[in-house]
Amino acid sequence: MAVRADRRAAGLRSSRAGAAARLAAAVLPLVALGAGIGAAVAGGAGAIAGLAAAVVAAAVAGAYCDRLALSAMAARPVSEVEHPELYRLVRELSKGGRLPVPRLLLSPAGQPNSFAVGRNPRSAAICCTEGLLASLDEAELRGVLGHELAHVSGRDILPATVSAGLATVITYPAVPVRLLMLMLVLGPVAALVIRLSVSREREYRADAAGALLAGDPVALAGALRKIEAGVAELALAPDARLSSVAHLMIASPFHPEGFARLFATHPPLGERLRRLEALAGYRR
């Protein structure tokens, strides 16, 4: 028992160290952008001012990152009266994973998708779209919720959520004026922030841990198939705000083409399904 506790503590320390490293890497492009713009405008003094502005922007993004991500999907808190089964599943899975029960929110999007945000397990929130709840059966929904809780327990929600906030801050000037040329300049910087903070392995790990938590890898595989089909049919437009939070979702909400490819961080569906089926004991 003591050995298991030691391993759990070591794993937690490793997760926290990895999250800190990814956060530091994600902040660097924003700092470089601020210093570079300042230097181009006013030389050395401008670089210092730009650096200070970047630090302030990073602090704002860190403080409000979860709200920024949720607002991009127009998410609202959902009550247990509205969706008692959703609450029941999340409570059961949270208990099995020894996690606090996260806040639950609902996005009006018809596309089936979900994501988790937060700085730690106590501040975590899970958002499901209306399309997800309408598309999946109970076993499949349980698998998806297990996947999102695996992100929470794996501590990768911190760098992923903060990077979403940083990317939103970077691309914000392109939102009110809707300047394509401005987004072409700022978009690659925001995409770099996201790529430095998340990896494809993040989704593989959450698939495996979430499937084990839910107890049914095949159900999660089935859910992923339905989600990918729903995305293909109801793909979202990759505007500045949505592009900044797409990496949080269980599947990319965009068609994998054009500008959206800059922000692509999800692994191929085929490989995700292969790994889940192997976890269930199937062989291709």
Query: Which residues are catalytic, by number?
Result: 148
- Residue (of 144, 115, 126, 153) closest to 12 by Cα position: 153
| DSSP secondary structure of 202-230 | HHHHHHHHHHHHHT-HHHHHHHHHHHHHH
Q: Which segments of the chain does DSSP mark as H helices, in order? A: 2-72, 84-96, 130-135, 138-153, 157-171, 174-177, 180-197, 200-214, 217-233, 240-245, 269-279
66 with 75: CB under 8 angstroms? no
Q: Rounded to an integer, what distance in angstroms lies between the CA atom of residue 205 and that of residue 115?
A: 15
DSSP state of 101: P
What residues are paired with 125 via a beta bridge?
103, 117
Gyration radius from the chain CA atoms: 19
| Secondary structure of residue 172 in the 3-state scheme | coil
